[in-house]
Amino acid sequence: MACDKPQSVEVTEINEENNLTEVSENETLTMEEEMSGVLVLKQMPEFKMEAYNAKTGHYVEVSSEQHSDKWRVICFYPADFTFVCPTEIAAMNASLKVIEDELGCEVLAISTDTKFSHKRFVETEPLLKGLQLTMGADTTGEVAKKFGVLIEGAGLALRGRFLVNPEGVVVAQEVQSPAVGRSVKEFIRQIRAHQAAAKTGDVYPAGWKPGKTVLPVSTEAEKMTGNVGSYVTIEEIMAD
């Protein structure tokens, strides 16, 4: 692990054999109280921190004020030098051509490790060869706490991913425990849908992809009420 945990803490233990997270029953209740906030439809929390820009190889400073006119992805992960984390980071990096170039989203990965740890992690982990991401160093855990994903006693972040629109409003969030990685393909689908909804004012059914049926609430809300099945079928909803 890239960061040491206090000896008195029993909140999180990452098993090196299966990377499972074990949390005591009492601690789970505490965590639920601490992480109960939902950021969707709220302004993204303000932040500023040091970071490692893997594309340039330089240390930089990042903040919530940067790229404020663009769609942004804020993606927390538990720690450098763990097991699921490099798979997620590599998958996001492999999708940057779509996420950044096509969809115009700026991506910031964040953990509570230092910028020096990020640099070493990128240099030694084979999956991260050619990494183009910027990796924020939330060493105090303050930013993770603002986003509601900090595991207080362990000083680590849950797998929290947030999509922020150009107005600075969080429109989607996904939070998972450390043991299971997230799907970048599904996240890209969600970005496309949120961007389309923001542009048209219509709404997009489960599993929507470009070319599939849109629900035109901007013009036909009254006719659609209680009659959505006349617009889209379950077969289309479930189709790949």
Catalytic residue numbers?
A: 85
E-only strand ranges, 101-225: 105-111, 134-137, 150-151, 156-157, 159-164, 170-176
Q: In this structure, what token pair is assigned to residue 124?
A: 């030694």
Residue 172 β-bridge partners: 163
Residue 185: C-alpha distances to residues 48, 85, 189, 190 (Å)? 29, 16, 6, 9
Taken in order 184, 187, 193, 197, the sign of the CA dihedral is negative
Beta-carbon count within 10 A of 99 CB: 21
Helix (H, G, I), strand (E, B) or coil at 35: coil
Give the residue among 133, 191, 185, 187 at the shortest CA–CA distance from 160.
187
CA dist., res. 139 & res. 2, Å (int):
11
Residue 137 β-bridge partners: 50, 111
Helix (H, G, I), strand (E, B) or coil at 158: coil
